[in-house]
Structures are given as structure tokens and as C-alpha cells.
Amino acid sequence: MTSLPAVPLTLEGASVLHQMMRFRWTAWKALAPAQQDAALEEAAATLGAPQSATQQTAVYSLIGHKGDLMFLHFRKTFEELNQAQIALARLRLSEFLEPATSYLSMVELGLYESTLKLYASLAERGIEPHSAEWNLEIETQLARQRQAMAQRLWPAIPDRKYICFYPMDRRRGESVNWYQVPMAERQRMMHEHGMVGRRYADDVKQIITGSIGFDDWEWGVDLFADDPLVFKKLIYEMRFDEVSAAYALFGTFYVGVKVEVGNLAVLLKT
């Protein structure tokens, strides 16, 4: 029997695109009120189109200097994300939007515990890793999990007032390297990490997306809450657990206030 794979199984769902924009206020203010109204009505009609689990867009007013607006798109495929990006670019309003950055990822559920159990079961039965029988057993298990976790793989964008988005990596250098830690140890640390988050489940909704091979970081984290203080408390407490204290690297944080697309005029009308 060869060594068991080190990579945990994952389930993937919605394709996700964050678009952070700066707003060209000077050019916008130069428009006649009627032109502003027309641009806002067009944007509201496009962005406010009927939504479903596989076709959602939300808009947030960013706080701070990193941008003015963030457009969050959930779609079924990357092709549909590309169509959402193009649709936004075609709007009259886009003439006043300057891209600050973006983030491309996919809803991801890590299956550390299930992976360990399944790999152990397959090894006990003498099934060789990566053999045809092994791959069939893996796909059968993943198919069951996808069905059971469909709501988590295709979530609705939470209807909360505030959003906090940040990308992150696992450390792989210096004195520690997440990718050289045995899977059982990684599973233990991730379980402890997850237990912290569960204590905040009523106050904050979390959506984790995977971005390895898609963007500059490995994961994206979206937190949604009606009180932004919970972001600070949750993330601060998590810094003290082993997986974060020893192995986590964090990217730029973006915090924003949700804007209903029909109320863009309240935010932008001069």
C-alpha cells in the first residue's frame, strides 16, 4: 500500500467574484440630474434582476480608502461570472467606476474529518490510492456529501447590514509549513478553529471560498453581520487558536455597508 494522499477532499459550489471599485465623483457630479437618474435606473434594473441560488448580486458601500463600492456576485459557473462582469461594464454607471481590485473564488467546504475516515476505511480494505476502485469510492462519497450539503454549497448572500471580506493563506516557510503537517494534525487544528466560529453562529454568517489556482491567495472569507463589532471579536479570538497563531497569513480587509440596488440613488445622487 502506497502512502495515503495528503490532500483533504473538498466540495465546491457557487462561483464567486468580488469587484472593488472607486467612484469617479468629480465626473459624476458634472452630469445633469436627468443623466444621473437614467444611469441609476439602468443600473437598478440590471443589478436588481430576479435572483436565485445560482444567480445573485449584492452591492456594498465600502468604508475607508480602499474603494467606494463592492459588487459581490454568486453564479453557477465562471462563464456566468464573466457575463456578470461584462454586464456591469456595459452600464452607463460603469463610466464612473474605476476598478481597485477584485477576487475570484469558489464556495468550498473542506472535509478533513470525512477524508480521514474514508481514507482509513479504503486502506483497511486494501484499496490502492488513486486506483480506479479508489477513485470510484471517493466520487461516490463526494456525491452523497454534495447532496447533503447543497444549501451550504449554494448559499444565499446573507441579508445582513455589514460585510467583512479578506483573503488568507496558510504559512509555508520559515519555521512552520502547513502543507507538511500530517492530515490528522491539520484536522485537529481545523476542528478547534471551527469550534470558535460556532460560538458566533447566531451573530455572524460565514462563507468560505477556495481560490487556489484562481487568485493570489488561497482562500477568501466573507463575514456578514448586523453589528460590525462581531467581526473584530470573532477574528481576534480566532487569532489565539493554533491554526491561526502558527499558520495563518491574512490579506487586505474590506468592510462595507449593504446598499439595496434600488437605493443606489440615495448613495450617489448629488
- Total number of residues shown for the chain: 270
How would you classify the pairing of strands 55-62 and 254-259?
antiparallel
Percent above pLDDT 90 for the chain: 86
pLDDT of amino acid 185? 93
Is 66's pLDDT higher than 80?
yes
Percent above pLDDT 70 for the chain: 99
Split at pLDDT 50, 70, 90, the class of 1 is very low
pLDDT of amino acid 270? 67
Instruction: Decide: 231 and 162 in contact? Cβ < 8 Å.
Output: yes
Q: What is the pTM of this model?
A: 0.93
List pLDDT tens digits, range 97-110.
999 999 999 999 99
Instruction: Decide: 10 and 210 in contact? Cβ < 8 Å.
Output: yes
Rounded-to-integer distance, Cα 191 and Cα 178, Å = 15
Q: Is 112 a catalytic residue?
A: no
Residue 91 CB-half CA count within 13 A = 22
Question: Domains in the chain, start-ordered, CATH in brackets?
Answer: 13-107 (3.30.70.1030)
List pLDDT tens digits, range 10-26.
999 999 999 999 999 99
What's the mean pLDDT in 208-236? 97
How would you classify the pairing of strands 205-210 and 219-225?
antiparallel
Active-site residue, selected from the candidate residues 60, 103, 112, 166: 166
pLDDT of amino acid 201? 87
